Amino acid sequence: MQIHVVQSGENLTSIAQLYQSTPSAIIDTNELETPGDLVVGQALVIPIDGQFYFVQPGDSLYSIANKFGTTAEELAQINQIQVNGVLPVGFRLYIPPTPKTNTEVNAYIEPYGDQVSENLVEAARNRSQYLTYLAPFSYRIQSDGSLAPPPLDDFAASAENNNASLMLVVTNLEEGGFSDELGRTILSDENLQNTLLDNIIQTAQSGGYRDVHFDMEYLPPDMRESYNQFLRKAKQRLANEGLLMSTALAPKTSAQQEGAWYEAHDYQAHGEIADFVVLMTYEWGYSGGPPLPVSPIDSVREVVDYALTVMPADKILLGQNLYGYDWTLPYEEGGEPAEAISPQQAIQRARQYNVPIEYDTEVQAPFYTYTDEAGNEHEVWFEDARSIQAKFDLIKELGLRGISYWKLGLSFPQNWVLLDNNFNIEKT
């Protein structure tokens, strides 16, 4: 696939001609709603086999070959040029596709209320083909060790029809937030733990789940070892029943990292106990905080680098957001939260207010600012083809197990096209 960033004066026809594609193919791939009105700075995925590279000052055929993991001789042969010939700046080189690597993909899906919206039903049905695991969020632990399930609709059928496995997500959510006291209650009582595990196993077996995923957050710091011991017990019982066990981990950069979100999550222990983990490498920019990229690549890499010091790469699913935020400025702590928006909505909003999309290469994320009808200034950070490809490249570079998305239901068609282009998605 080719990623093209729209420049001033370009249209869909000129872009298609540049890459020997067609406007209709680009429209379909990117699900363009207004193909005649592209946004300057908008990233488009061009559906071609391989990609084109335009020679930059200082390039040689050898440096370009090294960049794309091929050889100068192969590039010369494919492009019918001399290996040691002069490459004019702007010359278009065809780069053949690289072999796909295998990966695992998880996606959480979070129904609200008592019923599953048609939007989520459609997302599960359409995206499960790209998933190893589909993870309904969540089964909430009750104080008596029982589980309160989410509405499930036909998620199981969507997974089965696409050869995806169901992940049973278990949380200490209570009244809309993670409860430290509920966590303490469960982790302090052996009898409650046994009851909880009985219920988890019964639910997993009756519901056709393949993996049990513990997402227990904001646990009291002094519960760190108690949580580890609970996971050891859970792993033994689940393994006896032929079930996998995974955990979600807050994005730490050291074992000593302080804070309510981090201290009870022991990376080394989880890496030893669980079959795999999900690193929640997102929410640097969050609804209640100041405008920031949601998953800046430098911060994401720092978390993964730490994780790799205490666990193997083939146990790590990289967490990735499928959304962005629109902040009203000036940001005030405790003020109005930012609005969560899909990548498609972010592009539509840039078009609506006639502003170009910019791209921060350090954090590998798109952003822009605009002024609304009431005169309020806004700042938007989101994801696009470039930012998601940067995460795919990181996964391949470090040999990670795969990727885990939070969450289905927000439109980001480019992600799925690029995911399929980069990886062979494993099914369990």
In a domain, 345, yes or no: no
Write the CATH number for 314: 3.20.20.80
The answer to whether 238 and 203 are in contact (CB under 8 A) is no
Model pLDDT for residues 242-289, shown as the tens digit of each residue: 999 999 999 999 999 999 999 999 999 999 999 999 999 999 999 999
Together in a domain, 285 and 415: yes
User: Quick one: average pLDDT of 117-134?
Assistant: 96
Question: Is position 342 within any domain?
Answer: no
Asked if 30 and 113 sit in the same domain, the reply is no
Establish whether 217 is a catalytic residue.
Answer: yes
Contacts for 413 with CB less than 8 Å, ≥ 6 apart: 29, 30, 31, 344
Q: Tell me what pLDDT residue 256 has.
A: 93
In this structure, is residue 380 part of a structural domain?
no
What is the pLDDT at residue 128? 98
d(CA 40, CA 358): 9
Q: Give tens-digit pLDDT for 283-318.
A: 999 999 999 999 999 999 999 999 999 999 999 999
Section 208-228 average pLDDT: 97
Among 31, 63, 95, the domain-final residue is 95
As a whole number of angstroms, the distance between CA 424 and CA 130 comes to 9
- Most distant pair of Cα atoms in the chain: their distance: 75
Q: Is residue 63, in this structure, part of any structural domain at all?
A: yes
Q: Are residues 106 and 90 in the same domain?
A: no
Do 131 and 151 belong to one domain?
yes
- Select from 95, 128, 143 the last residue of a domain: 95
Q: Among residues 31, 190, 217, 272, which one is catalytic? A: 217
Domains contained in the chain, number: 2
Q: What's the confidence (pLDDT) of residue 94? A: 96
Residue 428 has pLDDT above 90, yes or no: no
pLDDT, average across residues 60-74: 94
In a domain, 47, yes or no: yes
Residue 357, pLDDT score: 98
Residue 23's SS3 state is helix
Type of residue at 345: Q
- Paired sense of beta strands 101-109 and 423-425, if any: parallel
Cα separation, 139 vs 259, whole angstroms: 25
Domain range for 77 is 2-95
Q: Are 424 and 402 in contact (CB under 8 A)?
A: no
> Could you tell me if 187 and 219 are in contact, meaning their C-beta atoms sit under 8 angstroms apart?
yes
Q: What is the pLDDT of residue 9?
A: 96
Say if residue 91 is in the same domain as residue 137. Answer: no
Element (H or E) spanning 391, and its range?
helix 385-398
Structure confidence at residue 172 (pLDDT): 98
The reply to whether 138 and 79 lie within a common domain is no
Residues 84 and 219 in one domain: no
Q: Does residue 328 fall inside a structural domain?
A: no
- Do the beta carbons of residue 124 and residue 155 sit within 8 Å? yes
Q: Are residues 183 and 287 in the same domain?
A: yes
108 and 36 together in one domain: no
Q: At what angle do helices 180-187 and 224-240 cross, to 10 degrees?
A: 60
Q: Are residues 143 and 262 in the same domain?
A: yes
Contact at 8 Å (CB) between 390 and 297? yes
Same domain, 181 and 71: no
Within a domain: 355: no
CATH number for 39: 3.10.350.10
| Last residue within a domain, chosen from 95, 114, 132 | 95
Same domain, 18 and 117: no
Split at pLDDT 50, 70, 90, the class of 359 is: very high
Q: Classify residue 365: in a domain, yes or no.
A: no
